[in-house]
Structure 1
Amino acid sequence: MIEDFLIYTTHLTHIPNYPGSVIVRTNGAVVPIECRYLRKGNVSSNPINPTWIPFSSTRSGEGHLTFSLRLMNGDWLTERTSTVYYLGELIHIEASVSLANHVSLKLYIDRCVATLSPDKDSTLRYSIIDYNGCLLDSKAEDSFSTFVLPRDGREPDKLQFDLDAFRFYGDERSLIFITCHLRVAAVDQGDSRNKACTFQKLERIWRPLEGSDSDICACCHVGNCGSPREILFPSRRRRDLGPEAESEAGLEWEGEASLGPLIILDTELTNLATQPLTEGDGMMQERSPSVASWTAKLRTPFQPPFCWEPDKLRFELDAFRFHGDERSLMFITCHLRVAAVDQGDSRNKACTFQKLEHIWRPLEGSDSDICACCHVGNCGSTRSSCLPPEGKTLALKLVGH
Structure 2
Amino acid sequence: MMAFSWQGVLLLSLVAAVSVYADMKLDCRPGFVTVVWTESRSQADPSLFRLGNCFPTSITAREVVFSVDFNDCNFRTMVTGNQLIYTNDLLYISSPDSSVLPVIHPVVCTYERPKDWYPLIYDPVFNTYGEGDLVFAIRLMNDDFSGPAKSTSFPLGSFIPIMASVELMNHQPLLLLLEECVAAATPELQPESNLYPIITNKGCLVDSKISRSKFEPRENPSEMHLSLQAFRFALGKEVFIHCKLVAWDPIGLDNTKKACHYVKDQGWELLDNPAYSNLCDCCDSSCKSRKMRSVLSGKLGIVHKAVLGPLTITDVNS
- What TM-score range do you get, normalising by the shorter chain? 0.5 to 0.7
Q: Which residue of 2 aligns with 1:105?
A: 174
Q: Which residue of 1 aligns with 2:240?
A: 177
Deviations 1:19-56 (A, max 9, x none): xxxxxxxxxxxxxxx9xxxxxxxxxxxxxxxxxxxx97
Matched, 1:196 2:259: yes
| Structure number with higher strand proportion | 2
Matched, 1:163 2:228: yes
Number of residue equivalences: 201
Matched, 1:133 2:199: no
What is the CA-CA distance between 1:257 and the residue it aligns to? Answer: 1.2
2:292 corresponds to which of 206, 215, 231 = 231
Question: Which SS does the other structure have where 1:213 is aligned?
Answer: helix
TM-score when normalising by structure 1: 0.46
Change (3 A) 1:4 1:94: same
Conserved? CA contact 1:185–1:232, under 8 Å: no
- C-alpha separation in 2, matches of 1:268 and 1:173: 12
Question: Which SS does the other structure have where 2:221 is aligned?
Answer: coil
Q: Compute the RMSD of aligned alpha carbons.
A: 3.0
Conserved? CA contact 1:134–1:197, under 8 Å: yes
Contiguous gaps of at least 5 residues in structure 2: 1-81, 83-112
| Structure number with higher helix proportion | 1
Q: Which residue of 2 aligns with 1:265?
A: 314
Counterparts of 1:215-254 in structure 2, within 5 Å, are: 215-222=278-285, 224-227=286-289, 230-232=291-293, 248-249=297-298, 253-254=302-303
What is the CA-CA distance between 1:125 and the residue it aligns to? Answer: 0.5
Q: Which residue of 2 aligns with 1:94?
A: 163
- C-alpha separation in 1, matches of 2:308 and 2:240: 6
4+ residue runs over 4 A deviation: 5-10
Change (3 A) 1:8 1:77: closer
Deviations 1:251-270 (A, max 9, x none): 9811111111111112234x
1:85 corresponds to which of 151, 154, 173 = 154
Percentage of matched positions with identical amino acids: 34
Q: Rg larger in 1 or in 2?
A: 1
- C-alpha separation in 1, matches of 2:152 and 2:259: 25
Question: Which SS does the other structure have where 1:267 is aligned?
Answer: coil
- C-alpha separation in 2, matches of 1:179 and 1:69: 10
What is the CA-CA distance between 1:81 and the residue it aligns to? Answer: 3.4
Identify the range of structure 1 (108-117 vs 79-88) with the bigger mean alpha-carbon deviation. Answer: 79-88
Q: Which residue of 2 aligns with 1:399?
A: none
Report the residue type matching 1:201 in the other structure. Answer: K
TM-score when normalising by structure 2: 0.57
Contiguous gaps of at least 5 residues in structure 1: 11-33, 35-54, 234-244, 270-401
- C-alpha separation in 1, matches of 2:193 and 2:120: 28
Report the residue type matching 1:207 in the other structure. Answer: E
Conserved? CA contact 1:135–1:199, under 8 Å: yes
